[in-house]
Each structure stands twice: as structure tokens, then as C-alpha cells.
Structure 1
Amino acid sequence: MSTQECHGRVIGSAVGRGRVAAALVGCTALVLTVTGPAAQAHGRDTARQTLAAGDGWGSYGTGTTGGSAADAAHVYTVTDWAGFRAALADGGTAPKIIKVKGAIDANADGCDSFAVPGYDFDAYLEKYAPETWGLDTDLTAEPDDSPEGLRRASAAVQDAAIKANVPANTTIIGVGRNAGIKGASLQIKGVDNVIVRNLTFESPLDCFPQWDPTDGDTGNWNSEYDSAVVYGSTHVWLDHNTFTDGDHPDSSLPVHFGMTYQQHDGELDIVKGADYVTASWNVFTEHDKTLMIGNSDSESTAVIDRGHLKVTLHHNLFSHLVERAPRVRFGQVDVYNNHYVADASYAYSFGVGMESQLVAEKNAFTLPSGVSAATVLKKWKEAPVTADGNLVNGRPVDLIAVHNAEIPEETLQSGAGWTPTLRTHVDSPKAVPGVVGRGAGSGKLR
């Protein structure tokens, strides 16, 4: 059963013994397909798969089942952004499965569609150029009718347009090999039990980055929007996805005021007391600040994050990234059987931050000539770390020892103080490049 056009009406349809009602607003192009349990071969239907017992922190306690129990009224196939957001909103927290067919674009009309009347980027550059504005005063006090005020208003329009709030008990899954979401920010915020699989996420471009003259010695551009953010949520499984900058890598971004006009934030952030997350068989590629677990050292944040941020990363490919794969604060984070492929832009992979307890075992690193294994670890704050059984260019390397020998001003303590037990299968690190290369990323879900 599918709707050809909906014109803002509420449509109800009967499918077998089930009934579906979807509130669809402005979705002429939406195709909404409903399939019931009777049509599913449950053992083989990837849309109804759940996270296996023992598979990382996401399996802890009640486990992660997403929308696997969805009835006929709450299984959708969507082909555009409006339809995707309508499906998310329909049915509240009742279990639901949303199948994404093809690539859907949250910014199909371009950045100009978000700009409020009067916004002029050239006027913004002219007013806040360092040679006229200086580097001592930020822009927070600028009035609403100023270039900065109009930028803020335009940014608010984009924020409302490209964010999608994911409710509890939801599975979002791509159909086939070319399903994806472009220019959007998936908000898994304050909910429990979410699965996201088999999608290519092309990083959203912040159309209106803010210039902060006081950021560093020369000022900097700051942007918003992660491809996906897990914020205060529990039991989340992200599996067989690809996160990439796609057609807009940082190398394609212009330079203003002597700094890259940065329009990207993170690919995946896990923050604000989020807990019990497993990220498996994903590809993270072509990005700078990739994956952050815990977003602040502040005491107000620490009160929220201490005892939480339990995350497992396994069988992911981290390819051609600069940093944060991951950077960790506070959490007990298990990172095993991942493959890291670096290039000349590489800064580090594991950021050891405030009160973190990072375990990094049996990973494989492919580093180019001139990039030392000592840089794999980066110390931000005093915290112990376990880094055992890792290979660099096919050879065993004690990552802590080589780091401490070459970067003595950042001496790391060995021994994170806990032993991960939620692992279903651990591959030899020698096998990891091949296993991950064959299996990770969207389009490879079986």
C-alpha cells in the first residue's frame, strides 16, 4: 500500500488485519510503503534484526531492539526528507521501522533557501574583518539587525530544517546499496532503544558558520551539525553505516580571514550522559573532527557524564581522518578490531581525555611513511589507558611505550582499570584489515 500524494491530509489504510494511519504534511513526493509481520521472513529480515546478546555496551541490560516489534501500521519506506521526518513523528514511541530508499537530501534547495531577508555574506565579511573589527571582541552582543544577527536568524532556519529527532523504539535502515541521508543531522536525543543501519551519511554543511575573533590567536570559524548525535540516550546501535564529507571535503572549502571557512562539525558525537552504545562495522572517512565521546571537561558536564558514556567501537574502518577516532572523556570505552588508515593529514586517533577509561585492543593501523606510531595516542588530560595487542603496518607495537618514548611531555599511564566482557567475537589484528575491508560500511549489510 503506498500513497501517491497526500496534500497535508491524514490518510488511513487497511493492510490485511492491520491498519495504518500516517500524518503526512507537504509530502507529495513521498512514497509510504507499509508491510506487516505476516509479510516478513523474520529470521532474514534485516529491518527486524536486533543487537546480539553480548555485542558491546549496547547489549547491556535490556539490550537494543529498536523497532523490531513494529506492527503493520508502523513500518514505512520513505524516499524524501519530508517523508522521513513525517514517519519519525508518526505514532510517538510505538515501535517503528523506517526504511530509507535512495539518497534523501535535507538541503536539496541549497543554502540560500535558509537565508533570512537582508542576510548578506559579503556584508558580514566586510564588517567583521580582523583589520577593522579586531581580535579582542566576540560577536555575541551584536544586535538582531546586524550582519551577525541576520546570520544567527538564518542559522536558526537551517537548524529547524535539517535536524530530525528520532523517537524511542525506532529502527532506521537503508534499503539496498545506495541508501543515504545528505545534509542532515540525526538527533538521537533523550530516548532509549534506537537502531541505525545501512545508510551513507554525507556530512551536513553549516551554511552560516560564525566567526569568533577571540578563538585562538587569529580567530576562527565555528560550525554546527554532526551527521548523528547521541545525546543523553541509551541502548543505541549504529551498524554498517558510512560517514563521509562526500562532495564537500574540507579541501574544497574556501578561506576567509586567513582561516578555512569551516562548515563541518563531527560525524558522530556521543554526549551528555549517553550510555550503552555499540557502533559496529561502520566506515568513518574524509573528515577532521570525527567521533567525540563526552563534549566538555567542565564540572557541570562531569556531573552528567560520570558513570555513563559506556561505548563499544568494533570492526569499523577509520580512513583518511585527522583526529578523534575517538576522543574520550569520562566513559568506559572499548575499541577493538578496528582498522585505521591514515594519510599525511593525520593528527591522532585515540584522544585520552578527562577521567576517561579507554581500552584499545587488537586494532590495526596503516600509517604512511613519516607518520609515527607515537601519534596514535594523544593525551589531553591525566587518565589511564589500556592499549594491548595492536599492530602498526603489520607489526606489533606497544602504543603507550612508543608514545611515552617519543612524546615524554605527554606521558601516559597504562591500565584503564576495567576489562571489557561484552564482545561476541574478537579477530586477530592481522585479519582485521581484510575482515573490516570486506564487511564495513553501508551497502554491505547481509
Structure 2
Amino acid sequence: MSATTRRRTIVSAVSAGVLMVGGVLTAGQLEASAAENSPVGYASLNGGTTGGSASTVVTVTSASALKAALSASTSQTVRVSGLISISGMYDVASNKTVIGVGSGSGITGGGLNLSGVRNVIIRNLVFRNAGDDSINVQSNTTNVWIDHNDLASGYDGLIDIKRGSDFITVSWNRLHNHDKSMLLGHSDDNGSQDIGHLRVTYVHNWFEGTNQRHPRVRFANPVHVLNNYYSNIGSYGVASTENAGVFVERNYFENVANPTVTQTGDSDPGNLKVLNNYKVNSGTEQVRNGASVAAIPYSYTPEANNTVKATVTAGAGTGKI
């Protein structure tokens, strides 16, 4: 049985309620989640995130075709074939699914910009050498699922979410060879737009040798950081600032001196609570005002913390869906 077939078989069994073990998923069950067809967490709320039409499909192989397909008003699926070199940030319109063909297709030299749009899925894409951000989500964009991508070596952020954006899930991505990985909330003076928004689920991502911002949070409450694998992190893992509320649950930290911090840069402190994180050669988590971190508003079943490494390294990145 192929790995893909095995994952789909397990998914069916989990859906049927066959494999539950003590309310926490085992490694075998979570391997199945690598083949999810719809997002868990925040992107499943607010009407859900379905992306573009599966019956209107365009395959692109050039920068000009990619730019036109992404910005079209049509609800559609955009299949990216090959590693396409672009310059600058390409705008993505509402109701789009952008998905790579195979494991090596994607974008080099530039990135994707989601500004004031809704219902976008970005999956199975390689991002390399962006001149700015690799993926930038801003200006009250809602319902976005960023899943199973491989991101490295950009100029600024790999996945930045800001300016009142909301209901977003970032799952099963591999981030490596980079400094500032993921920003949530762009500045300390933007509270009027950001408070009550920036609700994001980060689940089953692999941060491999990156330095900081996994994520770095301002204002949002609650943010859910669940079942991610952090390996050989330079500065810190998760940062909560500007009175944000971040719940860091059942992650696997390996060779991470500062798994969580409650202040960084010039920002005021944020609030952070932890639950059952697994640590190997890693420091103590910083926590602050855990009671002020709001309850997670959706149902979920976490993976056991000690199996997260195996699950994430097997399932994160491209070529796994």
C-alpha cells in the first residue's frame, strides 16, 4: 500500500471514529492528517475556507500566465507547473486555490500578496529567494489556508499576516534557511485595526534551523500554536507581545534555547500559556498571564507531544498531498 493510500485509509477510519486513543491522536493517525482536504482550526470558521472552483482549472508555466490567473475575478484553481521566476509581489484575488504540481513547482524571486480578499488556499508550492515576503496576508483578508508549502531564503518574512486579517490556518509547511519566519501583526501602533482580529492556527509546521518569529505575535487573542516541530532554532521559538494571547500546546522543541518568550524588540509584553510541550536539549518556556489567553473557539484533537517530530518530518512540505 502506498503512503498516500495508507493516509487516506487512516483518514476514513478516524472519520468513522475507529482509531481514537484517549482523546489524543497517535503518530499513525496524525500521518493521515497530512492529506487533509479542508483546513482545521480558524480557517474552518467564519463560513469556512473552500478556495477556488475545482471545475474551473488553469495550469500556468510562466510568470505572465501566473499573474493573470491569480488576479482574475473568476473563482478558480490555479495549478503552478514548474518553478516560475517572478519579480515583486503578485496579487491573489478572492476565491482562489493556488496549488503546485508535484513536489518542485512554485515561485522564485518574488511572492504572493493577499490584500483585502477572502477565501484563498495556497498549497504544495515551493517559495525561494523572494525579494520581499514569500506570502503576505494583509488589509482585512479573511479565510486563508496556507498548507504543505516549502519556504526558504526570502528577504523578509516567509509567511506574514497583518493589518486586521483573520480566520487563517497555517499547516504542514516546512520553513528553513531563513531568519524572520512568520510575523503576526506588523507594528506596535496598529492595535486599532488588529485587536479582535489576527486569529490564526499554526499546526504541524516544521521550523528547521530558522532563527525567530515562529510566530511573533502582536495583539491577537487567542492564537493557537499546536503540534509544531521546532529544530535547531537560533533566537527563539514563539513570541507573544503587545498584550496578545498565545496558547502553545503540545509542540516538540529540539535544540531550542528559548522555546517561548513574552517580549522581543521594542514591543510591550504579551500573554502566553503553555501545555504539555515536549523538549529535547531545550530551555524553559516563558509564560505570562495565562488566564488572560482566551479559550480556543473550535473543537480539535491534539497529537501526543512525543510523536510530533516523526509526524511532522514525514508529512510537512511539498509532495505530501
**For this structure pair, what is the TM-score category when the shorter chain's length is used for normalisation?**
0.7 to 0.9
Q: Is the 1:358–1:386 Cα contact (8 Å) retained in structure 2?
A: yes
User: In 2, distance between residues paired with 1:359 and 1:376?
Assistant: 10
Aligned residues: 281
Q: Which amino acid aligns with 1:425?
A: T
Structure 2 SS opposite 1:434: helix
Displacement after TM superposition at 1:169 (Å): 0.4
Paired residues for 1:316-395 under 5 Å: 316-331=205-220, 332-342=222-232, 346-367=234-255, 372=257, 374=258, 376-380=260-264, 381-393=268-280
User: In 2, distance between residues paired with 1:440 and 1:376?
Assistant: 22
Residue in 2 that maps onto 1:144: none
Aligned mate of 1:422, from 298, 307, 316: 298
Displacement after TM superposition at 1:99 (Å): 0.3
Structure 1 SS opposite 2:112: strand
Displacement after TM superposition at 1:184 (Å): 1.1
User: In 1, distance between residues paired with 2:320 and 2:41?
Assistant: 20
User: In 1, distance between residues paired with 2:259 and 2:249?
Assistant: 16
Displacement after TM superposition at 1:414 (Å): 3.0
Aligned mate of 1:304, from 159, 179, 193: 193
| RCO comparison, higher one (Cα < 8 Å, 6+) | 2
Aligned mate of 1:97, from 73, 77, 84: 77
Q: Which amino acid aligns with 2:235?
A: A
Displacement after TM superposition at 1:171 (Å): 0.2
Structure 2 SS opposite 1:177: coil
User: In 2, distance between residues paired with 1:167 and 1:101?
Assistant: 19
User: In 1, distance between residues paired with 2:67 and 2:127?
Assistant: 16
Displacement after TM superposition at 1:431 (Å): 0.5
Residue in 2 that maps onto 1:229: 136
Structure 2 SS opposite 1:185: strand
User: In 1, distance between residues paired with 2:95 and 2:81?
Assistant: 20
Q: Does 1:187 align with 2:113?
A: yes
User: In 2, distance between residues paired with 1:444 and 1:316?
Assistant: 13
Identity in percent: 34
Displacement after TM superposition at 1:51 (Å): 2.2
Q: Does 1:175 align with 2:101?
A: yes
Q: Which structure 1 segments of 5+ residues have no match?
A: 1-48, 107-160, 206-224, 246-262, 402-411
Q: Which structure 2 segments of 5+ residues have no match?
A: 1-35
Q: Is the 1:203–1:226 Cα contact (8 Å) retained in structure 2?
A: no
Aligned mate of 2:167, from 250, 259, 276: 276
Q: Does 1:79 align with 2:61?
A: yes
User: In 2, distance between residues paired with 1:425 and 1:354?
Assistant: 29
User: In 2, distance between residues paired with 1:341 and 1:288?
Assistant: 14
Residue in 2 that maps onto 1:51: 38
Displacement after TM superposition at 1:186 (Å): 0.3
Q: Which amino acid aligns with 1:84?
A: L
User: In 1, distance between residues paired with 2:68 and 2:240?
Assistant: 40
Structure 1 runs (4+) greater than 6 angstroms displaced: none
RMSD between aligned alpha carbons? Answer: 1.9
Q: Which amino acid aligns with 1:229?
A: N
Q: Which moved more, 1:381-390 or 1:431-440?
A: 381-390
Displacement after TM superposition at 1:70 (Å): 4.6
Q: What TM-score comes out, normalization by structure 1 length?
A: 0.60
Q: Which amino acid aligns with 1:76?
A: V
